[in-house]
Each structure stands twice: as C-alpha cells, then as structure tokens.
Amino acid sequence: MAYFDQMSLSRRAWESAGGAVVAGALTGILLGVNLWAYIVATLVSVVGALPAGSQHRTVGGALLRGLVGGTLWSTALLIAHGVTGLPATSALPEPPVAFLPFCFLPTALVAAIVWLIANRRRASTGNALGAGAPRSRIHGGAVGSPRGRIQPERTARVRVDGETRGEVGV
C-alpha cells in the first residue's frame, strides 16, 4: 500500500478531491431521481472512502483527509442537486448548507478510526511506520504447500546526496 505522501501528485489529487467530487455529484443527481438510488450511491461513496484514513502516517493527516473529503463530497452533492432542479427524494436541512457538518464530521471521525485500526495492525505485524522492523512476505505456492513459506524481506536504504530517500527490496 502506498502512503499518501508517496503517491504521485495526480494520484493524490484524484484520491483526495476527484473521487469525492465525482461521487458527491453523482449522489446529488440521484437525490432528485430516486431515493433508493441515492441511498446506494451514498453507501458506495462511504465504502470507497474507507481506506483513505489508512493511507496517512499520522492521525492528523487522516482527520484532515476525512474533513476535506467529506466537505468536497457534500458540497458537490448540494451543487449537483441544485443544478438538476429536481425535488429531493430525501429531506435536506434548511438552509441546505447545514447539511455539510453531517458529512464532514463523520468522515473525519471515520478516517481517524480507520487510521487507528490500520496503525495498530501495522504495529502488531512489525510494519509500524518508522520502526525499521524487517517485513515479511509470502513467496509463491498455495497455503500449506512447501513453496508457500514466509521469508523475511531484505531492504536497502537508498541515499541521494547524503539524504535517505527510501527503501528498496533486494
């Protein structure tokens, strides 16, 4: 899994803004079309956003990502729904901007919870960020076969101009 700060700029832009805006706009359109389609689109958006918190090195980064993603999603939803001019199939608060906290607060909280779970899992498997513990991977073969053994992964630190730039498998 790539961490957010290791992703290319285009991937970071898509994962932090593009996906939320597209999903929010589609959900906003469906809000005026059919209640069940709106509910399904909302659930798909939630499931699609879940991994975002685990892509950060700090809980603060995960919280900010959830806050930004929830704000963009709900803003795109309201704008797209407003553009369609269709009546909402589900009640929206009045004024509609009051809908925003119902989206960005839960997404920030869920992103932080996902980060905590992912961080605990990384720590329990020796893959904690910055711990320098050797990682393991399974090499070939089906589970239980002699080829499906676990071997330590060897890594080497890459230094450029006296500065550590990362690790590569050797």
Residues 75 and 20: their CA atoms lie apart, in Å, by 10
Range 149-170 average pLDDT: 60
Higher-pLDDT residue of 101, 129: 101
pLDDT on residue 126: 73
Q: Average pLDDT in the 127-135 region?
A: 46
Question: 67, 155, 48: which is closest to 109 by C-alpha?
Answer: 67
* Interval 74-112: pLDDT, tens: 999 999 999 999 999 999 888 988 999 999 899 999 999
Name residue 71's amino acid: T
Residue 146: pLDDT above 50? no
Give the pLDDT score at 157.
65
Give counts: helices (H), strands (E), the chain: 5, 4
Burial of 20 (0-12, 13-18, 19+ CB in 10 A): buried
Q: Which residues lie closer than 8 Å to 83 by C-beta, 6 or more apart? A: none
When pLDDT is cut at 50, 70 and 90, the band that residue 124 belongs to is: confident
pTM above 0.75, yes or no: no
Give the Cα-Cα-Cα angle 70, 71, 73 (nearest 5 degrees).
65
Contact by Cβ (8 Å): 70, 38: no
The pLDDT tens digits for 27-86 are 999 999 999 999 999 999 999 888 888 899 899 999 999 999 999 999 999 999 999 999
